Structure 1
């Protein structure tokens, strides 16, 4: 036979029921204890500080670079990269709701009694034991004395209640009961704030991920190729995400960063960016930037048009759109690629920022990845000190773009190229930066600009260095000239030196000046007079390079080399060109680019948030402020008046009060009430009176 629950309850021993009630009481005592509440609030405060100091919801790669592998993993295990949605933070908030709720339920009855009870059960001895008291013996009857006492209390804002106790009448007054409500309000505020935090804690998203209904996408895919299980529908709860929209483009989604990937959140409206504007300081730093947005919402008859800027967001249907950043929006670039194989060939390229193109260079396929375009590049003007004595003048050196060249093995080098020549120490150069790792600064190849502000003269000189016949002829002329200056006529020696010079030029083009000097030292290691031979070889090499430069320059100017006048500018250009040829060997790319034309297009970076618990938190914060104000600035005061018949007729009035929080202020208030009683009983209609202080 199966026992029912009622039967089991009846057969349970009294001792067991007492134990169960005792354990429940212990748990309730623990949940409602102040120590637990303070501990939880301290932990929440520490977590909030961490969430404020440590940027939240960034890409894992950024945290890895910032903290290193060890601390990155420690912080990841503690969920410090998304504190407000961490399981332990949400658990603490839930426990805080439970603890504070238990505390409220336990103390509200006593608080309510304290607010509503007037404590009319008082005796003369207890009143006379209070520090603030006054006694009057009146000629008037008890009814008049009762009216005087009640009027004095009510006139000073006290709520009163009158009750007869035997032959005495007790008029109990109470004021400032809101201080007790402050206690309740602060506790309720904590619950409300915690509930708001839970509402914004992405609990629904975590449940979807745990149940397998949501997958975090880690690949860099076009929006159309993101799988459906990485999408969140409209109304999925709170979120904070980012989206980049080029000018004259639109988007109806936002990307939420989750750990090492992202998910796509659909929006209930579509955002169109009509225009983006940016203003700069003289040093090139952004001063302000703003976007002209149009929101198309099916629920609206007309679209919303508004300009947003930093600290001036747009809010619609609980979604707040912030101006967060800016970037290039796919600028169109017309490029000319100069192939560095000595052929003099150029490669015209029409591309866009963020576009990848496959190039065949020297029989090897490479991928050109155009990464960014900068319209302004502001540097400190080196001539400002000489001109005005100021160091805060700046100059805009013009547009530049960043790109990468990736080989067949997937290895890439980053490059940074300026469109216009840049002045460096009173000389003008085309700057081509290169680095092998994103953590390194760019190292710049300085290609001298000719009198037409172009790279043509240098490219013609660089091409001549690859033409072996021209190099041999120039080397022969150089060797003859150097030997003639030395007074030596030895055709065989001149021929051998010319052959050596040909080899040095080839080494210069392939590996740079450092390799030339190294090979020269190795060749002269066993020579009997190495220093003289070194100077001789270097002189011949220098003369050979100059002969090739003069030929190239004469061809460009349409004159013969003998008719060409070499001045200081041409000599300086030659020296810069030789250094640039050596730098090309270390440049690490078979091609260099220059910008012929561009069509600039910008993109705005928007941060979009939806926080349904935000208003709840705001309401809880307002309640907390109000409750704290009541607790600290409102004090409860109680005043009692006891009226009873006098021994020889008339009546006797005893008035006493208490306020433990601000006794000095209450002393003045009580004196004011007593003076009001004096004024009432001192009127002619009140009759004569005699007062006595005790």
Structure 2
């Protein structure tokens, strides 16, 4: 049983297994990027044919590959592999971090590849104090211990950098936990509602079930911005948040493309719009200031009884997206024959009549499409990402550098200095700094 347990441990502690799992996860992510996710079955049949679409569905590649059992299983295996690898190697790494380097023997120091030997015209105790001051001036704060009739000084920098890889491992696990939290306790929903209307529910993108908002959202206005060539530049929903628990007064704000609205843990993204076959008409008597606003459908007339006038939209000219750019308006008032005239969307036109002039304004009504996401794990993911940046910095930008200085009695009554050093990474840079340190010590009058 112990042997079998050891074999399982060695399997999950294997770097080779980690490389295979990373390769499979990367290949799966590429596949999930190339094949669009969360589409209707008809989309896959149209794009890839019925046979290939059926294969995708059987293999659980669509409509949500990242939530499929096999992709989640890969993440779980990778997480176990990461934990076991870390636990298996951490004891040796920790021993290097807390190692008592003053226990290093003079024989081992002599075998180090990076070393320099010098003579000092002082006995070891006084020479040790001199070297300690010189190393401290160079930025190396040392500890000392008597060693075999001499004195051993030691200093190190960046010992904790050896733990950088484990910080990265922990950050990956935290990111996975955040993603799992968002997947289990969060959701993605959508809503499409016209200007002038208020909603209190969303609709889950997977199940289509309504989800209460917990507040009311009113779309006050929808605006499309255009480039000079009449191409759509962006679109914006001007909304009112009605939430007495949060605000004493309704809050007016806007949702734009790439500028989402965040409220109560929900993020509202401006994702789409739908032109409606309804038009807002405002008619004003410029003489009296009286105004009538009406929502009009094509070929339906509206009667303004106070003024005795009748108006309506007789025809429209729209593009292939359904956006109306020109209207034909029918207007009748007492004392004059009925008339028709053309006007553009969101244009003001004045119609002259014997009794008064009337100002017309017309605009097409739109429904705004919002994608809504609730992800309670997003801050956990941000924490993991921040920790990963820290781990990468520690692991690759900081090195564990060590310096020993051993002073032993010399035959002429002075001392011999053996200066040694080492680094776990970026050895070329450390070698250069070690040479500069040795040269700095030689500049002292008592050292040659």
- What TM-score, normalized to structure 2? 0.77
**Aligned mate of 1:615, from 379, 393, 396:** 379
Query: Per the alignment, do residues 315 and 175 of structure 1 end up closer, same or farther by CA in structure 2, a change over 3 Å counting?
Result: same
Total equivalences in the alignment: 389
How far off is 1:278 after superposition? Answer: 0.4
Q: Residue 257 of structure 1: which of 180, 185, 205 is its match? A: 205
Structure 1 equivalent of residue 319 of structure 2: 377
Alpha-carbon offset, residue 72 of structure 1 = 1.7
Contact 1:170/1:641 (8 A) holds in 2: yes
State the 1:283 CA deviation: 4.3
Report if the CA contact (8 A) 2:316-2:324 is conserved. Answer: no
Aligned-partner SS, 2:183: coil
Q: Which moved more, 1:286-295 or 1:66-75?
A: 66-75
* 1:329 to partner: Cα distance: 4.8
**1:103 corresponds to:** 85
Task: Give the one of 312, 337, 341 matched to 2:259.
Answer: 312
1:58 Cα deviation from its structure 2 partner: 2.4
Whole-Å separation in 2 of the counterparts to 1:162 and 1:51: 59
Does residue 266 in structure 1 map to residue 266 in structure 2?
no
CA-to-aligned-CA distance 1:564-585 (integer Å, 9 cap, x gap): xxxxxxxxxxxxxxxxxxxxxx
Q: Residue 37 of structure 2 corresponds to which residue in structure 1?
A: 56
Residue 287 in structure 1 maps to residue 233 in structure 2: yes
How much has 1:602 moved relative to structure 2? Answer: 1.0
Match of 1:74 among 55, 70, 88: 55
Q: CA deviation at 1:34?
A: 1.2
1:210-359 matches, cutoff 5 A: 237-258=185-206, 262-302=208-248, 303-329=250-276, 331=278, 334-335=297-298
Cα distance in 2 for partners of 1:46, 1:633 equals: 30
Write 1 or 2 for the structure with the bigger share of strand: 2
Corresponding residue SS for 1:201: helix
Aligned equivalents of 1:84 and 1:375: distance in 2?
Answer: 44
Q: How many angstroms does 1:140 deviate by? A: 2.1
Which residue of structure 1 lines up, in the alignment, with residue 181 of structure 2? 199
Q: Structure 2: how far apart are the matches of 1:375 and 1:673?
A: 83
CA, structure 1 residues 661+125, in 2 after alignment: closer, same or farther (shift >3 Å)? same
Change (3 A) 1:641 1:191: same
Q: CA–CA distance in 1 between the matches of 2:429 and 2:142?
A: 21
Task: Give the aligned partner of residue 35 of structure 1.
Answer: 16
- In structure 2, the residue corresponding to 1:55 is in which secondary structure? coil
Q: 1:598 to 1:316 in 2, by over 3 A?
A: closer
Cα drift, residue 271 of structure 1 = 1.8
Label 1:27 to 1:178 Cα distance change in 2 as closer, same or farther (>3 A).
same
1:245 is displaced (CA, Å) by 2.0
Counterpart for residue 120 of structure 1: 102
Describe the shift of the 1:178–1:134 C-alpha distance in structure 2 as closer, same or farther (beyond 3 A): same
Q: Which residue of 2 aligns with 1:469?
A: none
2-side partners of 1:308 and 1:453: how far apart? 35
- In 2: Cα distance, 1:283 partner to 1:132 partner: 70
Take 1:322 and 1:35, find their aligned partners in 2: how far apart are those partners? 42
Quote the residue 1:624 is aligned against: 388
CA contact (8 A) 1:256 1:264 kept: yes
Conserved? CA contact 2:150–2:409, under 8 Å: yes
Structure 1 pair 30–269 and aligned structure 2 pair: CA distance change class (3 A): farther
Task: Show CA shifts across 1:409-463 (max 9, x none).
Answer: xxxxxxxxxx79xxxxxxxxxxxxxxxxxxxxxxxxxxxxxxx999xxxxxxxxx
TM-fit CA distance, 1:613: 2.0
Q: Is the 8 A contact 2:278 2:298 kept in 1?
A: no
What displacement does 1:84 show?
2.3
Superposed, 1:433-512 pairs within 5 Å as none
Please give the per-residue CA displacement for 1:567-623, whole angstroms capped at 9, x wherever unaligned.
Answer: xxxxxxxxxxxxxxxxxxxxxxxxxxxxxx987311111111112222222222232
**What are the Cα deviations for residues 504-540 of structure 1, in whole angstroms up to 9, with x where unaligned?**
xxxxxxxxxxxxxxxxxxxxxxxxxxxxxxxxxxxxx
Shift of 1:330: 6.0
Contact 2:222 2:235 in 1 (8 A): yes
Contact 2:441 2:447 in 1 (8 A): no
Deviation of the 1:378 alpha carbon: 8.2
Q: Alpha-carbon deviation of 1:167?
A: 1.4
Aligned residue runs from structure 1 range 295-694, under 5 A = 295-302=241-248, 303-329=250-276, 331=278, 334-335=297-298, 376-377=318-319, 398=325, 600-659=364-423, 661-679=425-443, 681-682=444-445, 689-691=446-448
How far did residue 155 of structure 1 move? 4.0
- Check whether the contact 1:164–1:170 (CA below 8 A) recurs between aligned residues: yes
Unaligned runs of 5+ in 1: 1-19, 203-236, 337-347, 351-372, 380-395, 401-418, 421-451, 455-596, 683-688
The whole-number CA distance in structure 2 between the counterparts of 1:673 and 1:66 is 67
CA contact (8 A) 1:274 1:294 kept: yes
Kindly indicate whether the alpha-carbon contact (under 8 Å) linking 1:641 and 1:655 is maintained by their aligned counterparts in 2: yes
Residue number in structure 1 paired with 2:147: 165
Structure-2 residue corresponding to 1:175: 157
Q: Deviations over 1:377-416 (max 9, x none)?
A: 289xxxxxxxxxxxxxxxx98459xxxxxxxxxxxxxxxx
Distance in 2 of aligned mates of 1:605 and 1:154: 66
The offset of 1:44, in angstroms, is: 2.2
Q: Larger Cα Rg: Structure 1 or Structure 2?
A: 1
Q: 1:52 to 1:121 in 2, by over 3 A?
A: same
Please report how far the alpha carbon of residue 134 of structure 1 lies from its aligned counterpart in structure 2 after TM superposition: 1.6
